[in-house]
Each structure stands twice: as C-alpha cells, then as structure tokens.
Amino acid sequence: MNTDNVKTSPGLRLLSFLPIRADQFEYIELILLAVLVGVLSALGNLGFRALINLFSYVFRDLEWHALGIRLYTVHALLIPIVLLSGGVGILILNWGFPGDVLGYGFPAFLEMVNLGNARIKRVWIIVKAIGAALSLGAGASVGREGPIAQIGGAIGSAVAQLRRLSAERAKVLIAAGAGAGIATTFNAPIGGLMFAQEIVLLNQIELSNLTLLIIATMSAVVTERGLTGNAAVFMPAPFVLRSYFEMITYGLMGITIGIIAAGYIRFFHRVGDFFNHLKLPAWAKLGLGLLIVGVVAIPFPQNLSDGYPHINSALQGHDTLTLMGTLAVAKFFTSAISLGCGAPGGVFGPIFFIGTMTGGTMQRMFAYFIPGFTGPRGSYALIGLGAFLSSATHAPLTALFLLFEMTQDYQVALPAMITVVISMIVARAIEPESIDTYALARAGKSLEIGKERLVLSQIPVSAVMVHDAEVISENRALAEVLQVAGETPQAILPVVNSEGDFSGIIVIRHLLALLVGGNDLGPLVNAFDIAWRNPPMVTAASSLDEATQLMEYEALEELPVVERANGGKFLGLVTRRAIAQTFNRVNVSLSTLATRDANIFWATGYRVTRISVPTQAGGRTLRELDPRARFSVSILAMRDCDDPDMGFVPIAADRLLKPGDLLVVAGRPSGLRQFARELEEAHSDQV
C-alpha cells in the first residue's frame, strides 16, 4: 500500500486503479458533492414553492372565500383576520421548534457560517420552509429568498456532516447550497454564484472553491429547468436606453436610492429593537405586528406577501406614479413590522419591491422635470431593483449579474453599473453596515475579521481554562488574603461563597496598590470587602476571541470562567498565556495538516503523512502495534472518527483504534509503508 495517499471514501476507492493523487481524489469527491448539493437545493426550492402555493390557497383563497373578503369593499376589513390565523400556524410551529422559527434568521445563518463551526441544523430544511410558507401564504410582508438560502445552506451542511468534512469544506458546501437556492429562485446561475460569494462567504474564498460554487449553482438551475422549464420569476419589459444623457438621471437615482436604503437599514432594525423591548409575550408581539400589516393591506392589498406580481407590473411599466410611490412607502413600513414582530421570512423580496417601485417613481418624476434625459418607466424600475439590492446588502456584483440575467441584454450594463455603484457608495457612507450585518455589528460581532481572530472565535474557553485555580472564600481575613496573594502565580484571586458561587475577583496588583497607598484596612476587613464584585467574566462556551478582547479592554491577564453569563458557579480561569499557546499550536496545525497534499516533507528521506485506520485494524492499540520499535514510525496525533470536529489530539498508547480514525504519522517512506501494511493485515481477533 502507498501511504502517500490519504484514505478516501468507499465510493472513491473504486477509482483507486487510476493514477490519481489523494488530493485529486478529494477534489473529485467535492465536485460530486457540489453537484449533489445543487440538485438537492433545487428540489428543496421546488418543494418550498409548493408549500407557499399551498398555504396561499388555504389562506388567500379558501379563507378569503369563507369570510367573503372582496377588495375595496367593507368586507376587506376582514383581511387582518387572515394574517392572524397565519400567525396561529406560525406559533404552533414555534411551539414545536422553539428558537428556529420566529423572525429574520439570515444574520444568524451568516454568523454560523463565518464565525461558528459551519454546522447548520438539519431541521431547518423543513422548519424554515414551513414557517416562511405560512408567513407568505397568510400575507405577511416578507420575502422568500432568505429562507430558501437557509434551506439550501442546511442541505449543504447536512451533506458535509454526512461526509464528515472539515469546517472549511463544510462552509463552502453551505454557501453552495445557499447560492443554488437563490439561483433556482431567479433562474440566474451567475446571480446565485455571486450571492454565495459576496453575501454568504464575504468574498473570502479560494479559486478552487469558487469552482465548486459554480458547479452547484449550475447543477441547481439545470435541475430546475429540466423539471419546470426555463420560466423566469421576473419578466421585465425590454430595456431601452434612449440617450447616453440618461446617465445623469441614473446617477441621480443612484444617490437617492442610496439614501433611502441607508434609512431602510436603520428603520428596519429600529423596529426590530422596538418589538424586542416591548414587554409582551412572543405571541402578542406577532399578533400585533400582523394586525398592523393586515390593516395596511385593506387599502393596499398589493402589499401582501412578497408582491412578485406587482413587481412584474412595475417592470412592465404599467403602474402610476402615485401607486408606485405609495406602495414603496407601505412595503418600507410593513416589511420592517412583519420581520420585527417575529414573522418568519426574508428581506430580499421587500428589497426588490421597494427598489422597483422607487425606480419607477423616480422615472415619472424625471420625465416631468427633464423629459429629454429619461427613458421608459420599466427600465428605471428594473435598475431601481438592482440599486436598492446593492445598497441594502452591500453586494453590487450580485445585483449586477441578476440584472444581466433577467434582461439578457448588455445594453443594461452601463446604467446598471453607474446606479448600482453610486447607490452602494452613498448607502455605505451613511450606514457602513448592511441590512444583514447591522445587528451583528451592534452586538460587537464582525463577520469581516482576520484569520487570526477567526481561529480564536472557533475555540471555546473550555478548551484551555485552568480548572484547579487558586480561589479564596469571601470570609477570609485580609492577612490570609495577603498570604495567598504572595504565594500564588495567578494575577487574580477569584472570590467564592460557601457554596462555590462566584462573588468577584481580587486583582493582586490592585491589592498591592491599595496597601502601598496607605488606605486604612482594619482587622475586620475580609476578601469580600476588597473584591471587585462585578468584574469581567466569561463562560465555558465563550470563544477565545471574546476572552482576548475582554482582556485587552480591561487590561487583565486572566479572566474568571463562570457557569452563566451573569455568574453562578466558579469553573476556572482562562489566561492570556494559555490562549497564546493554543493559538500557536493551532497555527502550526493549520500550516501542516491543512496542506492540500497529504505528505509534509521534512528532512531528506523523512516525511509526515496521514493514514486512515482500516477496518482490519479496529480494536488494536498502539502499544500492541509498537510502530516506533518495529518500523521507526512515530504517531504524532489522531483524529477520532466519531468526533472529527475535535480535531487532531495526542493518542494514548492503550486507546483502541477504530476504523476511520485518522493518524498523523512520521517516519521514512519504507517504514511508513510497512506500518500501513501492518494495519491492513491486522485482525482484531489477535487482541
């Protein structure tokens, strides 16, 4: 056996007779997985659409008919009842899956992908689809694009978990699933690709991974077209550019839309904050918000759901100035209410609606004041859609390619680029955060962090904390505190009560300063009296990045680790030194184990490689195999097949090997081959 190759999946072992390296095997597997994710995401999107149609029929056909609702009559006053009945369905779903249903979940999705462990709950595939379909079917003013991106991302994550891929590989498949979902929604493979690249992965991707995104989005669109045909969601009128002087009006429209988009980002999150701070139960908040949306829909039923038919009407140039302006304002208001109160859904649909109506409105205004510099209404509505998308999400390439694919006309390129870029520049000048990153930024989380902080953000404090730290009880006298402070190497002394609950800390340098300063400390002073009672602290689940930032801000070398964010049992200490050592070890691991080639060449004739434990070696131990004495091979680390997320760790000599465990071994090529052959020929009955 040649150990220069990493062990591959059973399916790829069938290709072992080909002269292909291990990294090529791996990439072939990733390509096949990207195709699978694309196909499954397309099927998921079709299922999601079917659910939307089903609930639309239930609420806005059957229920409307049962209530006798007719638009622009007194019976239209019953529209809010329909939205409230949809809210009941949403609350039932939330009762079964608490925490996974209510509200705008796309920022949390981005956080999981870029700051978490790139594992999306598989239940989201069903829950997000049903929740958003209930919202849209009942008429809540939300979009379908955010949920389909999360559904596709959850499919990508499920495939990655099934194949036990690393977090980085899983991240790419999640983005591929999200992009595939968007691509099938708009029949726009390149637009979906740019969505995955710009919005999900924040432009941080290797060229080889970009290929996987292309494969996934193309596979999704081919699947969808094969099943449903080549129909598009939006059908704009032919784009017309009457004069290059129109670049002036398109530029002015870009400035205006940039200002409106920045205002929308802030208003959207202010409304969310209002509902969050409202002292009402979740069901009451949801009911209040849906009631408001229903009341607005009485005079403006076009505002219900995502409004795709009315977007198409505006793109065809059919709507009037008054109607488009009014609908833009109504959607601006009700989309923030819908998502802020907890209705599940996305924000892309409202963005498309507001941008289209704003663009059409501005065309009518330009046509009145400067008719010689203005083209058709539908063309401005189309560019307005792309400009508002770009300025609200800070994703200009996604907007541009969606416009290109919607029109199939490169005449749109110049006005689109001018308006899209200007609007984004203006929006970012007013509000630096996008609609998806605004709340995260206010919570102190940045998706655009360096690789060093990204590494620390993925390691919990529990991995490095000191469990047997020196602590001191609240009632210890000052003299005893001084004695302990003089003997301990710690920079802080955690103070606990008789039950082990955390009370505060004594910073030793502060204690010394207190004594030198001549403060009158009587004999009755105890540890509780001089403790810092509300100090900075972290939980075991906090990230090392969070701990590091807190240490920098508070100028501390150590932090107490407690049971809950507000205190509880004292668990241990996390130190700056331990974080630095962990960071250095991880960097070494990343620079060696993350190499694309399985072999890491050191001195001449000596190498490090990875060997997957075959089935035959299951149940053996390293003490029994004795690779160092028999083959001059050293076992550097092991990754458990049952818990690959723990990464590579040292292995005990008496640990039983399991099929699929990954060993990092070092030695000369001949010794490595002999050891690998021994593993292949081993039998558990020898134990």
Tell whether domain 453-582 is in CATH 3.30.565.60. Answer: no
Q: Which of 179, 166, 168, 162 is nearest to 213 (CA)?
A: 179
CA torsion, ordered 452, 454, 457, 463, to nearest 10 deg: -60
Query: Residue ranges of the domains in the chain?
Result: 20-228, 246-279+296-450, 453-582, 595-686
- The closest of 502, 497, 532 to 514, measured between CA atoms, is 532
Angle between helices 246-277 and 377-393 (to 10 degrees): 50
- Comparing C-alpha atoms, which of 73, 133, 548 is closest to residue 64? 73
The answer to whether the beta carbons of residues 307 and 349 sit under 8 Å apart is yes
Contact status, residue 29 vs residue 9, Cβ threshold 8 Å = yes
Question: How much is the pLDDT for 518?
Answer: 54
pLDDT in tens, 528-558: 877 888 888 888 888 887 888 788 767 788 8
Winning range, highest mean pLDDT, from 106-110, 176-180, 426-430: 426-430
pLDDT at residue 22 is higher than 80: no
Q: For position 267, what pLDDT does the model report?
A: 93
246-279+296-450: which CATH topology?
Answer: Clc chloride channel (1.10.3080)
For residue 396, which of 366, 373, 428, 356 has the smallest C-alpha distance? Answer: 428
Closest CA to 599 of 682, 542, 668: 668
- Given pLDDT bands bounded at 50, 70 and 90, which one contains residue 5? very low
Beta pairing partners, 501: 569
Q: Which of 187-201, 552-566, 574-588 has the lowest mean pLDDT?
A: 574-588
Question: Helix, strand or coil for residue 570?
Answer: strand
d(CA 328, CA 310): 11
Q: Is the dihedral of CA 406, 409, 415, 420 positive or negative?
A: positive
Query: In this structure, what token pair is assigned to residue 157?
Result: 């994550």
| Segment 181-195, tens digit of pLDDT | 888 888 888 888 888
- 306-327 pLDDT, tens digit per residue, is 888 888 888 888 878 888 889 9
3.20.20.450, 1.10.3080.10, 1.10.10.10, 1.10.600.10: which CATH number matches 20-228? 1.10.3080.10
pLDDT at 262 over 90: yes
| CATH topology identical between 20-228 and 246-279+296-450 | yes
Q: pLDDT by residue (tens digit) across 319-355?
A: 788 888 899 999 999 999 999 998 898 888 899 999 9
The fold for domain 595-686 equals: Alpha-Beta Plaits (3.30.70)
Mean pLDDT computed over 257-278: 91
The predicted pLDDT at position 685 comes to 43
The DSSP letter of residue 62 is: I
Report pLDDT digits (tens) over 473-531. 888 887 788 888 878 888 888 888 888 888 888 888 777 666 665 555 566 677 787 78
Q: Give the model confidence (pLDDT) of 642-676 as tens digits.
A: 876 566 777 888 888 888 888 888 877 778 888 88
